[in-house]
Amino acid sequence: MKKLFAICALPLFLSCSSVKQDQGGKWISLFDGKTLNGWKKNQNPQTFSVENGTIKVAGPISHLFYDGSVKQHNFKNFEFKAMVMTKPGANSGIYFHTAFQQEGFPDKGYEVQVNNSHGDWRRTGSLYGIKDVKETYVKDNEWYEEYIMVKGKDITIKINGKTVVEFTEPEEIGRKNAGGRAISSGTFALQGHDPGSVVFYKDIKVRPLAD
């Protein structure tokens, strides 16, 4: 109680609520590096496995949805980051504000592209089909950081700390795609795109932001 009183006795411009926000917001790991506990596979579950502390994606189309206890796998405003490495010709993606479905590409949420040399011209960091990136910022066979932030209607995507996409969702898009490809809330998913795509993910973390 004495500690709490001391905090609240700070100058008036620093409220107790702001102190609470400053003390929170820690990065939380979503992958333990050993198992896929807290994750749920859909079709072709063999596409996902754990190899040397990473999630290996290699096989036919499949998606791996975060289904764990952090925020009850329902995120609205957040920062997300993961270390990613693609093999030549690989295609994958990171979905957010999505929901588990048994098969097919997720109908709900946005996809952030993972693709440095696949035939699809939309490169790593693209907000797929919405604001696409043509430049290749990272190479195959090298680890890089892919970062996503969603706050309100604003989406920011960074590759190795470099901002490659800034997008504010227009109201008409949100209304048109409500319940589907629109900012709402939901979980994350990793994409297995095709049998020729091999991708590795590790250090998958989230930092929830105030709604």
Higher-pLDDT residue of 11, 162: 162
Per-chain mean pLDDT for the chain? 90
Spatial neighbors of 182 by CB under 8 A, at least 6 apart, are 97, 169, 173, 174, 176
Please check the confidence at residue 15 and state whether its pLDDT lies above 70: no
Please check the confidence at residue 105 and state whether its pLDDT lies above 80: yes
**Closest residue by Cα to residue 138 from 157, 123, 155:** 123
Place of tokens 């093999």: 87
Question: Which residue type is seen at 168?
Answer: T
Please check the confidence at residue 148 and state whether its pLDDT lies above 70: yes
CA angle 55, 60, 64 (to 5 degrees): 40
Please check the confidence at residue 76 and state whether its pLDDT lies above 60: yes
pLDDT on residue 55: 98
Question: Which residue type is seen at 68?
Answer: G
pLDDT on residue 138: 98
Please check the confidence at residue 112 and state whether its pLDDT lies above 60: yes
pLDDT on residue 20: 36
Higher-pLDDT residue of 150, 7: 150
Neighbours of 38 (CB within 10 A): 16
Please check the confidence at residue 7 and state whether its pLDDT lies above 90: no
Asked if 28 contacts 206 with a C-beta cutoff of 8 angstroms, the reply is: yes
Confidence of residue 177 (pLDDT cuts 50, 70, 90): confident
Give per-residue pLDDT as tens, 19-75.
333 334 799 999 999 999 999 999 999 999 999 999 999 999 999 999 999 999 999
pLDDT on residue 6: 40
Mean pLDDT of 128-156: 98
Please check the confidence at residue 17 and state whether its pLDDT lies above 60: no
Strand partners, 92: 114
Compute the radius of gyration of the chain from its Cα atoms. Answer: 18
Please check the confidence at residue 90 and state whether its pLDDT lies above 90: yes
Give per-residue pLDDT as tens, 180-199.
999 999 999 999 999 999 99
| Residue 159, both tokens | 């590759």
CATH placement of domain 27-208: 2.60.120.560
